[in-house]
Chain A
Amino acid sequence: MDNIDRDLINLLQGGFPLFPRPFLVVANQLRDVNETLTEQNVMDRVQRLLDDGFLSRFGPMFQAERLGGGLTLAAMKVEAEDYDRVAGQVNDFCEVAHNYQREHELNMWFVLATETPEGIEDTIQKMEEVTGYSVFNMPKKEEFYVGLRFEL
């Protein structure tokens, strides 16, 4: 990764132009740091940053619950001897998008996404039946900020 990559990532984190030739717009925006940068150079760099895993995503960021579904963060307090079994059972639910082991008494944290808002409660109930453990539902009550700009 060189300085142009860094400038490119910093710029693209803030937004990608909604114009017919967006990479040309980006190349022009980066002319200050590199006056020979072309549209093709920018495309090549973005593709390489994606291929090399420096960028995990490139495109529209949707707000999941605005698409009509349900979304929540949930946690469980699972005994060590049951952990692998419960993790497997929880992960088997297709509604589980991410699941993390965390260092806390509440040691399993996952995001649930369902096709309908009501689906959250149904899924939690089924999960409690299958695992034999309580699920703590922690839907957001208020959002203060989402998104992060990593200055490189």
Chain B
Amino acid sequence: MSGFALNSNDELARDYLLTPLDRALVVATQEGLPVTAQPYLAVAQQLGISEDEVIFRLEKMKEFGVIRRIAAVPNHYRIGFKANGMTVWDIEDEKIKELGMKIGQLPYVSHCYQRPRHEPYWSYNLFAMVHGTERSQVEERAELVREMLGDACRKHEILYSSKILKKTGLRFSTPNK
């Protein structure tokens, strides 16, 4: 799994231009940080720059939202959250922002986005990934979401994945465009 989150609403980041050094840092750290006492020094040595500079550039990218956070990501399946459902909701457009923010706050929701409808095939405009230890828990939690959405929600579904067809993750390769 790579370290790319899928989306962002961070307006600041739109204005941030990556320097060639930032790009080199992205490539050097996208597979993860080395587990050594001074991981930033290890990265710095790899790039031929100082540890201070690595920390400064990472701090800067964090500040501008290019880096969401530096953290550990548990394998949710391995730690017992074996069920996850992509819950999709048909929400009144004028209420979606308020409700989306609310749903996004729930501790068991990992991703929450507004996406376009494709009528007549697809009328859902709110997506929320709901996690649980088993499907029944995902369903209970989806029901709580349903209650929170109230009348603004016309219908919803839970899409479970039945098979991973491909999982290579996102990889950033070009040092410069």
Chains A and B are bound partners: yes
Asked if A59 and B31 make an inter-chain contact with CB atoms under 8 angstroms apart, the answer reads: yes
List CB contacts (< 8 Å) of A81-116 with chain B: 87, 90-91, 96-106, 108-111, 113, 115-116
Chain A positions near chain B (C-beta within 8 angstroms): 1, 9, 12-16, 18-24, 39-40, 43, 46-47, 49-50, 52-69, 71, 73, 75, 77, 87, 90-91, 96-106, 108-111, 113, 115-116, 136-152
Given that A68-B18, A98-B169, A100-B161 are contacting pairs, would A54 and B74 also be in contact in the complex, using a CB cutoff of 8 Å?
yes
Asked if A64 and B76 make an inter-chain contact with CB atoms under 8 angstroms apart, the answer reads: no
Q: How far is the CA of A91 from the CA of B166 in the complex (A)?
A: 7
- A142 touches which of B86, B97, B166, B170 (Cβ 8 Å): B97
Residue among B7, B62, B65, B75 with max Cβ neighbours from chain A (10 Å): B7
- A-facing mask of B97-134, CB < 8 A → 1, else 0? 10011011101111111111010011001010101000
B141 at the interface (CB under 8 A from A): no
Asked if A21 and B113 make an inter-chain contact with CB atoms under 8 angstroms apart, the answer reads: no
In whole Å, how far is B105's beta carbon from the nearest beta carbon of chain A? Answer: 7
Q: List, in ascending order, chain A residues with CB within 8 A of B110's CB.
A: 145-148
Asked if B8 and A143 make an inter-chain contact with CB atoms under 8 angstroms apart, the answer reads: yes
Asked if B37 and A23 make an inter-chain contact with CB atoms under 8 angstroms apart, the answer reads: yes
List CB contacts (< 8 Å) of B151-169 with chain A: 157, 159-169
Q: How far is the CA of A91 from the CA of B170 in the complex (A)?
A: 13
Q: List, in ascending order, chain B residues with CB within 8 A of A98's CB.
A: 164, 166-169
Q: List, in ascending order, chain B residues with CB within 8 A of A50's CB.
A: 32, 35
Q: List, in ascending order, chain B residues with CB within 8 A of A149's CB.
A: 107
Asked if A62 and B74 make an inter-chain contact with CB atoms under 8 angstroms apart, the answer reads: no
Given that A61-B70, A63-B4 are contacting pairs, would A20 and B162 also be in contact in the complex, using a CB cutoff of 8 Å?
no
Residue among B14, B55, B58, B166 with max Cβ neighbours from chain A (10 Å): B166
Given that A18-B55, A104-B157 are contacting pairs, would A53 and B167 also be in contact in the complex, using a CB cutoff of 8 Å?
no
Q: For residue A105, which residue of chain B has the nearest CB?
A: B121
Q: List, in ascending order, chain B residues with CB within 8 A of A60's CB.
A: 3, 26, 29-30, 33, 58, 61, 67, 69-70
Q: For residue B173, which residue of chain A has the nearest CB?
A: A115
Asked if A144 and B101 make an inter-chain contact with CB atoms under 8 angstroms apart, the answer reads: yes
Asked if B18 and A58 make an inter-chain contact with CB atoms under 8 angstroms apart, the answer reads: no
Given that A22-B39, A61-B4 are contacting pairs, would A101 and B161 also be in contact in the complex, using a CB cutoff of 8 Å?
yes
Asked if A65 and B67 make an inter-chain contact with CB atoms under 8 angstroms apart, the answer reads: no
- A18 touches which of B8, B10, B23, B58 (Cβ 8 Å): B58
Q: For residue A87, which residue of chain B has the nearest CB?
A: B165
Q: List, in ascending order, chain B residues with CB within 8 A of A66's CB.
A: 8, 10, 13-14, 16, 65-66
Q: For residue A44, which residue of chain B has the nearest CB?
A: B35
Asked if B172 and A67 make an inter-chain contact with CB atoms under 8 angstroms apart, the answer reads: yes
Asked if A140 and B121 make an inter-chain contact with CB atoms under 8 angstroms apart, the answer reads: no
Question: 12 other contacts beyond A91-B165, A97-B2, A150-B131, with CB at 8 A cut-off?
Answer: A9-B74, A15-B70, A56-B78, A58-B33, A138-B115, A140-B6, A143-B8, A144-B112, A145-B104, A145-B111, A146-B8, A151-B107
